[in-house]
Amino acid sequence: MNLGLSKTLVQRGLSAHAAIGLLASALLYIVCLTGTVTVFYEEWQRAERPDAPEMQRIAPDAVQRAVASVLASEKDRKATEHLYVHLPTDALPRTTVTTDHQAVHVDDQGRVVAKELNGWSEFLLNLHYTLNIPGMVGLTIVGGLGVMTIALSLTGLIAHPRIFRDAFRLRARDRGGLGLADWHNRLGVWTLPFALAIALTGAMIGLGSINVYGLAQGFYKGDMEAAYAPIFGAEGKPNAKPAPLADVAAALQTMTARFPEVRPIYVFMHEPGTAGQQLQVLALPQRRLVYGETYNFDQAGRFLGTVGLADGATGQQVAASAYNLHFGNYGGLPVKIAYLLLGGALCVVIATGTSIWLGKRERRGYRQPRLRNGWNAIVWGSGLALALTLLARLWIGNAAPFKTIFWLSLAVLVVLSTALPERYRVRRALQWSLGICVAALVPAVLGG
């Protein structure tokens, strides 16, 4: 298949592809790398806290006891506004209660047994979501990188009109840049459906805040919650008057009796222990992309209705499908492994893109060893910096300053790599260092 584009358009497509790539590639590579590692978010949490009690299911009464016990332990603090109970799933067979103040694991009797310690997993997720930049800014930048990925995919097709025709040719061994170009183009073409799906859903998630702000200003008198409500449902009216704790056990029993085909995975309580408290159960339907359906209950645990994420308006179902499609947690371990490989391939596409551009300049006589070393530091140094944070998790513990370690070590690696004279083999040194770190990590992570 040849796209039949004019030479001028192809040349402009290449310029546009290179412009976007060079502008976004460093941050895009970090987001893509961390996204690939984040596919195993649940497994990382298990590795971080291997001694937490695990179970295939938990009895409704035990969940009720756990909620009551956690809230009782917070009597001397400001009342929590939200409480979440993570129920056992295949990927994370644990029960964890999270409030505004703490997160604890409970055993199958509902007894609090251990504090949740998943600082590294949370750091990793935050790095992927926001590049550790607080507030809307980080999220919007990452959303913008999703947009740039879509633009890169489109301009890549324009810049390479023979890309489909050569889709199965891969001269893997590099010779004068040919192998590198083949890796970039072949992996680029075959990751295209994945890249577009990931980029669009990622952009939708990342740009959600400013888009909903726009929706709120345009159609909901500035009320952002009102803009979200038609999609994800509305929160009830708060009423701080004390009231008995909602009957979580009755709600879970109702779920088992009335909806045996779905698996409850979360219990949400808003303003627990007040007259305005709201009780919801998030349950996962089989063979769906949606992250779940929200079942609403009254304080006595009587079923009120669903929000419609699984069977409501098309928009609700599409929005609820974006998250699982993005993170690859809709088909168990096989899909996670597929996402790991596809994410890895996307990292290779990004890494080789800038290397190809540098190689072309070198072949035309414009050698830029510092720029090349700097790019090598991004490609290999990002993985190395991430590995260092995980080593810090093992040696220092949950309270290790992961953000500082990651960004500081990456900055040092980039500065050192660009400053060192050309005779130093920066890439080889970074590859060896990464290899040693990974070799040190594998037994520790797999062995718990």
CB 116 within 8 A of CB 42: no
Q: Site for another protein (CB under 8 A): which residue of 77, 101, 111, 169?
A: 169
Give yes or no for residue 305 binding another protein (CB under 8 A).
Answer: no
Give yes or no for residue 315 binding another protein (CB under 8 A).
Answer: yes
Nearest residue (CB) to another protein, 58 versus 189: 189
Rounded to an integer, what distance in angstroms lies between the CA atom of residue 156 and that of residue 350? 12
Nearby residues of 421 by Cβ (< 8 Å), 6 or more positions away: none
Rounded to an integer, what distance in angstroms lies between the CA atom of residue 146 and that of residue 84? 30
Rounded to a whole number, what is the distance in angstroms from the first to the last CA of the chain? 50
Query: Torsion-angle region of residue 3: left (phi > 0), alpha (psi -120 to 50) or beta?
Result: alpha
Rounded to an integer, what distance in angstroms lies between the CA atom of residue 268 and that of residue 256? 17
User: What CA–CA distances, in Å, run from 96 to 45, 88, 93, 126, 322?
Assistant: 12, 9, 10, 20, 25
User: Residues in the chain, how many?
Assistant: 448
Count of residues touching another protein (by CB under 8 A): 91
Q: Site for another protein (CB under 8 A): which residue of 68, 114, 338, 394?
A: 338
The first and second tokens of residue 174, run together, are: 């590099």
Nearest residue (CB) to another protein, 100 versus 225: 225
Nearest residue (CB) to another protein, 104 versus 322: 322
Give yes or no for residue 349 binding another protein (CB under 8 A).
Answer: no
Nearest residue (CB) to another protein, 279 versus 356: 356
Per CB under 8 A, which of residues 172..201 are in contact with another protein? Answer: 172-182, 186-187, 190-191, 193-194, 200
Per CB under 8 A, which of residues 65..124 are in contact with another protein? Answer: none
Nearest residue (CB) to another protein, 267 versus 356: 356
Nearest residue (CB) to another protein, 375 versus 402: 375
In terms of Cβ atoms closer than 10 Å to its own Cβ (0-12, 13-18, 19+), residue 363 is exposed
Nearest residue (CB) to another protein, 352 versus 409: 352
Nearest residue (CB) to another protein, 93 versus 331: 331
Per CB under 8 A, which of residues 355..374 are in contact with another protein? Answer: 356-357, 359-361, 363-364, 366
Between helix 248-258 and helix 60-72 the angle, nearest 10°, is: 160
Give yes or no for residue 319 binding another protein (CB under 8 A).
Answer: yes
Nearby residues of 19 by Cβ (< 8 Å), 6 or more positions away: none
Q: Site for another protein (CB under 8 A): which residue of 72, 219, 244, 399?
A: 219
Smallest distance, another protein to C-beta of residue 396, A: 38
Nearest residue (CB) to another protein, 32 versus 83: 32
Q: Site for another protein (CB under 8 A): which residue of 66, 97, 127, 158?
A: 158
Phi, psi of 92 (to 5 degrees): -140, 80
The first and second tokens of residue 305, run together, are: 């209705």
Nearest residue (CB) to another protein, 119 versus 208: 208
Per CB under 8 A, which of residues 137..156 are in contact with another protein? Answer: 143-144, 146-148, 150-151, 154-155
Per CB under 8 A, which of residues 423..442 are in contact with another protein? Answer: none
Quickly list DSSP for 39-85: TTHHHHHHHH-TTS---S---HHHHHHHHHHHHHTTTTSPPPSEEEE
Smallest distance, another protein to C-beta of residue 165, A: 7
Smallest distance, another protein to C-beta of residue 52, A: 30
Nearby residues of 290 by Cβ (< 8 Å), 6 or more positions away: 309, 310, 317, 320, 321, 324
Per CB under 8 A, which of residues 22..41 are in contact with another protein? Answer: 22-23
Rounded to an integer, what distance in angstroms lies between the CA atom of residue 296 and that of residue 313? 17
Nearest residue (CB) to another protein, 44 versus 357: 357
Give yes or no for residue 330 binding another protein (CB under 8 A).
Answer: yes
CB atoms under 10 Å from CB of 278, counted, come to 23
Give yes or no for residue 345 binding another protein (CB under 8 A).
Answer: yes
Nearby residues of 441 by Cβ (< 8 Å), 6 or more positions away: 387, 390, 391, 394
Give yes or no for residue 6 binding another protein (CB under 8 A).
Answer: no
Name the residue type at position 4. G
Per CB under 8 A, which of residues 273..292 are in contact with another protein? Answer: 287-289
Per CB under 8 A, which of residues 229..248 are in contact with another protein? Answer: 230-231
Q: Site for another protein (CB under 8 A): which residue of 90, 100, 214, 311?
A: 214
Smallest distance, another protein to C-beta of residue 419, A: 20
Give yes or no for residue 342 binding another protein (CB under 8 A).
Answer: yes
